[in-house]
Structure 1
Amino acid sequence: MDNQGFVTGEDDSKTNGGGTGSPDAPPVRMPRTVGAASGTAIIVGTMIGSGIFVSPKGILEGSGSVALSLLVWFGCGVLSMLGALCYIELGLLIPESGAEFTYLFHGLGPLHRFLGPLPAFLQSWSTNLLTLPASTAVLSLAFAEYCIQPFYARPCAPPPMAVPLLAVITCCLVTFTNCYSVTWATRAQNFFTVSKLAAIGLIIAAGVYSLAQGNSQYLATGFQGSTSSAGDVATAFYGGLWAYDGWNNLNCLTEEIVEPARNLPLAILIALPLVTVCYILTNVAYLSVLSPQQLLDSPAVAASFAEGVLGPAAFLIPVGVALSVCGALNGTILSTARRCLASARQGHLVDVLSFIHVRRLTPTPAAMFNCGIAVIMIAVGNIDSLIGLFSFCAWIFYGLVVLTLIILRSTRPDAKRAFRVPIWIPWLVLLMSCYLVVGPIVDRPQYEYFYVIAFLLVGVLVYVPCVYCKWRPNGMGSVTSCLQKTLELVPAS
Structure 2
Amino acid sequence: MWRHDGVRQGDILRSRGQSLSGPEGQAEGKCANLEGGKPAPNDAVNLERRVGLFSGVALIVGTMIGSGIFVSPKGLLERTGSVGLSLIIWALCGVLSLLGALCYVELGCMIPSSGAEHTYFMTAFGHLPAFLFAWVSIIILKPAMLAIICLSFSRYLVEVFSSQPCEPPILGIQLLGALTIVLITFINSYSVTLATKVQNIFTAAKLLAILIIIIGGIVKMAQGYTDHLATGFEGSTDSFGDIATAFYSGLWAYDGWNNLNYVTEELKKPYTNLPRAIIIGLPLVTVCYLLVNISYLTVMSPDELLASETVAVLFGGRLFGITGQVIMILTVVMSTFGSANGSCFTSGRLCFVAAREGHMVDVLSYVHTTKLTPSPALIFNAIIALVMVIPSDIGSLIDFFSFTAWIFYGGAMLALIVMRFTMKDKERPYKVPIVIPIIVLLISLYLVIGPIVDSPQIEYLYATLFIVAGLIFYFPFVYYGKSIPGMPRMTKFFQYLLQVVPTNMPDA
Per the normalisation by structure 1, the TM-score is: 0.95
User: Which of 125, 139, 147 matches 1:129?
Assistant: 139
Shift of residue 423, structure 1, vs aligned partner: 0.4
- Residue number in structure 1 paired with 2:156: 146
Candidates 471, 496, 502, aligned match of 1:485: 496
Query: In the aligned structure 1, how far is the partner of 2:207 from the partner of 2:147?
Result: 23
15 and 361 in structure 1: CA distance in 2 versus 1, 3 angstrom threshold: closer
1:397 Cα shift?
0.4
Displacement after TM superposition at 1:15 (Å): 9.1
SS of equivalent to 2:429: coil
Counterpart of 2:444 in structure 1 is 433
Question: Which of residues 199, 209, 213 in structure 1 aligns to 2:223?
Answer: 213
Counting only pairs closer than 5 Å after superposition, residues 132-211 of structure 1 correspond to structure 2 as 132-211=142-221
1:301 aligns to what? 311
- SS state at 2:367 partner: strand
- Among 89, 97, 103, the residue aligned to 1:80: 97
Give, in angstroms, the shift of residue 381 of structure 1. 3.5
Measured in 1, the distance between the counterparts of 2:301 and 2:220 equals 13
Counterpart among 389, 410, 418 of residue 378 in structure 1? 389
Q: Does the aligned pair in 1 maintain the 2:31–2:503 contact within 8 Å?
A: no
* 2:49 alignment partner, SS class: coil
Per-residue CA deviation, residues 342-390 of structure 1 (Å, 9 max, x unaligned), is 1000000000000000100001000000000000110134111111111
Give, in whole Å, the separation in 2 of the partners of 1:169 and 1:300: 21
1:364 aligns with 2:375: yes
Tell me the equivalent position of 2:234: 224
2:479 alignment partner in structure 1: 468
CA distance in 2, matches of 1:214, 1:11: 70
- Equivalent residues in 2 for 1:436-451 (5 A)? 436-451=447-462
The one-letter amino acid of 1:81's match is L
C-alpha displacement at 1:466, in angstroms? 1.2
Q: Do 2:5 and 2:488's aligned partners in 1 also have CA atoms closer than 8 Å?
A: no
Q: Which amino acid aligns with 1:95?
A: P
- Are 2:469 and 1:458 equivalent residues in the alignment? yes
Mapped partners of 2:497, 2:321: distance in 1: 53
Moved more, 247-256 or 12-21: 12-21
RMSD: 1.5
Shift in alpha-carbon separation, 1:16–1:241, aligned structure 2, 3 A:
farther
- Once the two structures are superposed, residues 221-240 of structure 1 have per-residue CA deviations (whole angstroms, 9 ceiling, x without a partner) of 01110000000000000000
Structure 2 counterpart of 1:39, one-letter code: G
Corresponding position of 2:40: none
Correspondence for 1:280: 290
Q: Does 1:32 align with 2:27?
A: no
1:464 Cα offset (Å): 1.0
Other-structure match for 2:433: 422
Contact between 1:168 and 1:375, CA under 8 Å: does it hold in 2?
yes
Query: Deviations 1:249-291 (Å, cap 9, x if unpaired)?
Result: 0000000011101001110100000000000000000000110
2:21: which partner in 1? none
Unaligned runs of 5+ in 2: 14-26, 35-44
Which residue identity is paired with 1:222? G
The 1:318–1:69 alpha-carbon spacing in structure 2 relative to 1, beyond 3 Å, is: same
Q: Is the 8 A contact 1:252 1:335 kept in 2?
A: yes
Question: Secondary structure in 1 aligned to 2:501?
Answer: strand
Query: Are 2:8 and 2:28, in contact at CA under 8 Å, matched by a contact in 1?
Result: no
Q: Is the 8 A contact 1:76 1:240 kept in 2?
A: yes
Closer/same/farther in 2, CA of residues 477 and 413 from structure 1, 3 Å limit? same
Asked if 1 retains the 8 angstrom alpha-carbon contact of 2:178 and 2:389, the reply is yes
1:279-335 CA distance string (max 9 Å, x none):
000000000011011111112111111111222431111111000000000000000
CA distance in 2: counterparts of 1:81 and 1:292, whole angstroms: 28
Match of 2:353 in 1: 342
Query: Is the 8 Å Cα contact of residues 155 and 168 (structure 2) preserved in structure 1?
Result: no
Change (3 A) 1:97 1:168: same
Point out the more displaced range, 374-383 or 389-398. Answer: 374-383
Deviates more, 1:468-477 or 1:155-164: 155-164
CA 1:405/1:312 → structure 2, altered by over 3 Å: closer, same or farther? same
Q: 1:14 to 1:264 in 2, by over 3 A?
A: closer
CA distance in 2, matches of 1:347, 1:210: 56
How far apart, in 1, do the equivalents of 2:303 and 2:224 lie? Answer: 19
Paired AA for residue 173 in structure 1: L
Equivalent residue, structure 1, for 2:423: 412
Distance across 1 between alignment mates of 2:53 and 2:31:
34
Report the alpha carbon displacement of residue 29 of structure 1 after superposing the two structures with TM: 1.4
- The letter for the 1-side match of 2:209 is A
CA offset at residue 457 of structure 1? 1.3
1-structure distance, mates of 2:242, 2:278: 30
- Normalising to structure 2: TM-score of the pair? 0.92
What residue is the counterpart of 2:75 in the other structure?
A: 58
Per-residue Cα deviation, 1:402-446 (whole angstroms, up to 9, x for no partner): 100000100111211110000000000000000000000010111
1:24-78 deviation line (CA, Å, top 9, x unaligned): 8653311101111010000000000000000000000111100000000000000
CA gap 1:363/1:64 in 2 versus in 1, 3 angstroms? same
CA distance in 2, matches of 1:210, 1:24: 60
**2:280 corresponds to which residue?**
270
AA matched with 1:332: S
Q: Distance in 1 between matches of 2:310 and 2:31?
A: 58
Kindly state the Cα deviation for residue 188 of structure 1 after the two structures are TM-superposed: 0.3
Instruction: Please tell me the residue identity of whatever aligns with 1:296.
Output: L
Counterpart CA distance in 1 for 2:9 and 2:191 is 24
Equivalent position amino acid for 2:82 in 1:
S
Paired AA for residue 73 in structure 1? W
Matches of 1:445 and 1:260 in 2, distance apart? 41
Q: Of 387, 390, 400, which aligns to 1:389? A: 400
Distance 2:270 2:488 in 1: 36
Bigger mean CA deviation after superposition, 462-471 or 209-218: 462-471
Contact 1:101 1:120 in 2 (8 A): yes
Query: Retained in 2: the 8 A contact 1:16–1:484?
Result: no
- Distance, in Å, in 2 between the alignment partners of 1:24 and 1:462 is 30
Aligned residues: 480
